[in-house]
Structure 1
């Protein structure tokens, strides 16, 4: 593998105690069946540890398919609201925001997938990442408590 490029999750052993830990395309990783949800399992021939092929990615440990997650992120990049995505896909708004936060740690991979598979522009992706930066920083507006009794005018 060339320096400066990202390694595919299933191309090296994740076990830090393994002598072949982090050695990319060393020939020690073999396919080892699939999980009940269909995710590829891999095994290191050196240490015998088994792991899934999406370890270290945005999709690791999530209950929705990579296709569904990418579709929701593409809809966000197209300036759809969280409520609109919830209505169309039936996925909670909080779940989509969690995916977006996870995706922010994998910007290069996510951008490559979205640009290759969806009709998006760089400007749309920039807007999506800006949205990530502002999410959760909503200003709180203090409401004046109205304690007027029935018929009284509040001051």
Structure 2
């Protein structure tokens, strides 16, 4: 007997079909399967958090630290995540700028000025990371004082 779709289930992000049914859990997150195309998906499909193993709260905390401190190195020291990992999260956030902006304003109650400062930092840091100039060298060596 076929399962009936629930109105609470999300539509399929692949084909847009509305007949999706729950299909178990993976790593504590609900999975769904589409009855139209047969593909399965999770709640983070199509978001910057897709296929990340780090909890969303930690990613948000690291990105907020980058925004407030203005430094990937400071976020690295405070969170314990690698500089390159935080940079990859920033690039993923930039790919989903519209949704991230809405979340920053709605959930974190940030002002438009803070959001603009965050995106300008992401643009500048992303360009540096792509060029291979991620870290400034020689500015904080112990023997230079």
TM-score by length of structure 1 reads 0.68
> Where do residues 1-155 of structure 1 align in structure 2 (5 Å cutoff)?
10-14=10-14, 21-23=15-17, 26=18, 28-35=19-26, 37-135=27-125, 136-137=127-128
How far 1:54 moved relative to its partner? 1.0
Q: Cα distance 1:48–1:76, how it changes in 2: closer, same or farther (>3 A)?
A: same
Unpaired runs of 5+ residues, structure 2, are 1-9, 134-145
Report the Cα distance in structure 1 between the residues aligned to 2:124 and 2:76, rounded to whole angstroms.
Answer: 20
Report the Cα distance in structure 2 between the residues aligned to 1:13 and 1:122, rounded to whole angstroms.
Answer: 30
Corresponding position of 2:141: none
Q: Cα distance 1:85–1:59, how it changes in 2: closer, same or farther (>3 A)?
A: same
Unpaired runs of 5+ residues, structure 1, are 1-9, 15-20, 141-155
Does the 8 A contact of 1:42 with 1:50 survive in 2?
Answer: yes
How far 1:58 moved relative to its partner? 0.3
Q: Cα distance 1:131–1:80, how it changes in 2: closer, same or farther (>3 A)?
A: closer
Q: Cα distance 1:11–1:67, how it changes in 2: closer, same or farther (>3 A)?
A: farther
Report the Cα distance in structure 2 between the residues aligned to 1:115 and 1:74, rounded to whole angstroms.
Answer: 12
Corresponding position of 2:136: none
The alignment covers a number of residue pairs equal to 121
Q: Moved runs in structure 1, 4+ residues, more than 6 A?
A: none
User: 3-state DSSP class of the match of 1:58?
Assistant: coil
Structure (1 or 2) with the greater helix fraction = 2
How far 1:97 moved relative to its partner? 0.9
Does the 8 A contact of 2:67 with 2:121 survive in 1?
Answer: no
